[in-house]
Structure 1
Amino acid sequence: MATSNWFGLSERSIVGLVVGFYMVTALVMVSVNKWALNTLELPWTLLWIQMVVAVILLKVTQYTGLLKMPQIVTETAKALTPLIAINVIGLGVNTLCLVYVDTSFYQIARGLVLPFTVLFAFVLLRQPSSKLVLTSCFIVFCGFYTGVTSEVNVSRYGILFGVLSSITTSLHAIVIKKSLVHVNNSTLDLVYYNNVLSLVAVTPMIVFSGESAELSHLLSNDGLDAFYKFLFAGLITGIFGFLVNLASFLQISKTSPTTHMIAGAVRGVIQTLLGYWAFNDIITSGRVLGIFLILGGGALYTWAKDKEMAAKNAESPTYIPMTQQDVDGDEEEIDDDDHKA
């Protein structure tokens, strides 16, 4: 069996390690986020802590010589305003969704990412979709509808923030494509600008949302124990948020988009079970069916896109492979909850 330069491991072992790394980091990210928000409902403060950790880790990679970060240029920062706005709004509604819904219902609340992605690709980019892709979107919508209508006590705010999160996640890919030109098509530079500028944008939200006053009241009224737990959770999710990005990149580069989607589906099932065991979430038959339909529709979409890419590659050998093209566009947005959870 062929080996790789990863300490002499076989290709199969590397794929297994990469997929496992992705699933563990993504599960820890969502679970610790929920634990932090159960401790203190301070979503903007939690996001701020996570972004501080991300920026520090990026700086550490620069100082150790692993990566080179760009200098912040005012003109470039202004040009990236739409990206920062959609990123901050997306992170905000994503975290607020997690405040109002159970961990097991989180995937259903944010289940419309795929239909919105296909819709915006058609409306904004004039990219038509095949019947099979449209069928997969319909299946996903049925899963969302089934999951939402089967719940009796689900928060309407949770569903609203979940739908808004789906919209911002879908728009994020389009904005990223248009933003890359401002950083000479450097993904690393865009990641650095995005983290630093988003940190700046989130900071006043802590004041405007009233969380700064709540923090002040908490720290002056013997609430240190709860705050320390919350701070610890924020640090952990900041580290794992950074690792999720790395894990997602490694998984896509070492496997295929189909494998990436299957891993995401398995993660969704484990996340549901984890919510049941760790947070005493209620698992209803409607919730299970909704999750199954959403994951099934996503898997069908990935398979359909994989077939389309294979057909185009056969017609034109110079066509960019799916692992490079679609990950920058449609496919990345299906899994963007790993990055924002």
Structure 2
Amino acid sequence: MSSVNKLGLNERQAVILTVGFYMVTALVMVSVNKWALNALKLPWVLLWCQMLIAVVLLKITDAAGLLKMPVIKKDVAKALIPLIAINVLGLGVNTLCLVYVDTSFYQIARGLVLPFTVIFAYTLLGQPSSKLVLGSCFIVFCGFYTGVTSEINVSQMGVFFGVVSSITTSLHAIVIKKSLAAVNNSSIDLVYYNNALSLMVMTPIVFLSGESTIVVEQYYEEGFGAFKTFLFAAFITGIFGFLVNLAGFMQISKTSPTTHMISGAVRGVLQTLLGYFAFSDIITTGRLLGIVLILTGGALYTYAKDQEMKANTKPSYIPMTQQDADGDDDEERNKVGRA
């Protein structure tokens, strides 16, 4: 986040820029990923290409003197194993979810992020939630249930990958916050380690999934033409994958979960509109009601957090910034530090 501060922005402007940056890059990633997967359903190859391009871009910025990349150390890599595991799993299920569902339903399939976040905040960090927060989670669950059960031809695999994606997304913020300490709180170092090590893990998965064989077979049968759209989309998503990775770490390190939820809600609305206009998704009444309930639950959660902070009560969310941690007493600091 120091790179944002170097632009001479105040705290409010830095937060707005960070959230806006994250929303734009995340939206582009979803749309272009869907475009690539419509051309060729090779999710693991697509992710591998994205990781490779991201690592190459980081190396280029290092060679150009724009950013300084760290030398990978064994002890740091070991400390980041949970982050790499949750990152590879999360990227995999996110992409597989997009294979089975369209862009607008993607919002519903991954709609349980908030309930899982509250559950993990309690089970992993020992942070209870207010009745209003629990009510918001119930509304979100109702939205998820309504959206899933209203679809006639809903993909069970798509819903399954969406639920797993919700779990990994909920855990990601906790793991990132803990992992920052291993790289001296440097977002850039964490981005490099995350991409480089994830690329190493992803390589054998591409072969084990059988997608590498499919690539070779299709190349010999249809030539390079079949891969033009896919490779172009992979290149674009590789660039934006690097950006969204950086933007996500920046947002989590800079903003509170309340801001994170607001940006997620706005992104959900834009994503639904994107699916309708760009991919001609059919927005059924049940799907629309599900999305509205999920976003309403997110809005209620945000309101509950604002009320807690105004009342000077200890917020029952996962602290993601130093400002959040500084407001807690010594016991709470020790609890978060152990998490």
Over 3 Å counting, the alpha-carbon distance change for 1:126 and 1:13 in structure 2 is closer
State the distance in 1 between where 2:255 and 2:274 align: 26
Over 3 Å counting, the alpha-carbon distance change for 1:247 and 1:75 in structure 2 is closer
Deviation, 1:130, is: 1.4
**Where in structure 2 are the equivalents of 1:43-54 lying within 5 Å?**
43-54=43-54
Over 3 Å counting, the alpha-carbon distance change for 1:106 and 1:210 in structure 2 is same
Deviation, 1:13, is: 8.7
Deviation, 1:266, is: 2.8
Aligned residue number for residue 192 of structure 1: 192
1:78 and 2:73 aligned: no
Aligned residue number for residue 205 of structure 2: 205
Corresponding letter in the other structure for 1:92? G
State the distance in 1 between where 2:69 and 2:298 align: 35
Q: Is the 8 A contact 2:112 2:163 kept in 1?
A: yes
CA RMSD of aligned residues (A): 3.2
Over 3 Å counting, the alpha-carbon distance change for 1:33 and 1:115 in structure 2 is same
Corresponding letter in the other structure for 2:28? V
Over 3 Å counting, the alpha-carbon distance change for 1:154 and 1:233 in structure 2 is same
Structure 1: any 5+ residue segments left out of the alignment? 328-341
1:102 and 2:105 aligned: no
Moved more, 105-114 or 167-176: 167-176
**Where in structure 2 are the equivalents of 1:15-164 lying within 5 Å?**
21-164=21-164
> Secondary structure of 2:221's partner?
coil
Q: Is the 8 A contact 1:309 1:322 kept in 2?
A: no
State the distance in 1 between where 2:11 and 2:179 align: 35
State the distance in 2 between where 1:195 and 1:164 align: 21
Moved more, 129-138 or 174-183: 174-183
> Secondary structure of 1:67's partner?
coil
Over 3 Å counting, the alpha-carbon distance change for 1:314 and 1:129 in structure 2 is closer
Deviations 1:18-77 (A, max 9, x none): 665444322211111001001000000000111112112222332233322211112221
Over 3 Å counting, the alpha-carbon distance change for 1:129 and 1:313 in structure 2 is closer
Aligned residue number for residue 274 of structure 1: 274
Over 3 Å counting, the alpha-carbon distance change for 1:32 and 1:309 in structure 2 is same
Q: Is the 8 A contact 1:108 1:291 kept in 2?
A: yes
Moved more, 222-231 or 46-55: 222-231
Deviations 1:274-298 (A, max 9, x none): 2122222111011001111111111
Over 3 Å counting, the alpha-carbon distance change for 1:140 and 1:146 in structure 2 is same
Over 3 Å counting, the alpha-carbon distance change for 1:49 and 1:273 in structure 2 is same
State the distance in 1 between where 2:111 and 2:171 align: 15
State the distance in 2 between where 1:151 and 1:312 align: 43
Deviations 1:310-332 (A, max 9, x none): 444899xxxx99765669xxxxx
State the distance in 2 between where 1:103 and 1:321 align: 31
**TM-score normalised to the size of structure 2?**
0.83
Deviation, 1:11, is: 9.9
Structure 2: any 5+ residue segments left out of the alignment? 326-339
**TM-score normalised to the size of structure 1?**
0.83
Aligned residue number for residue 173 of structure 1: 173
Corresponding letter in the other structure for 2:153? N
Q: Is the 8 A contact 1:103 1:271 kept in 2?
A: yes
State the distance in 2 between where 1:82 and 1:49 align: 22
Q: Is the 8 A contact 2:111 2:294 kept in 1?
A: yes
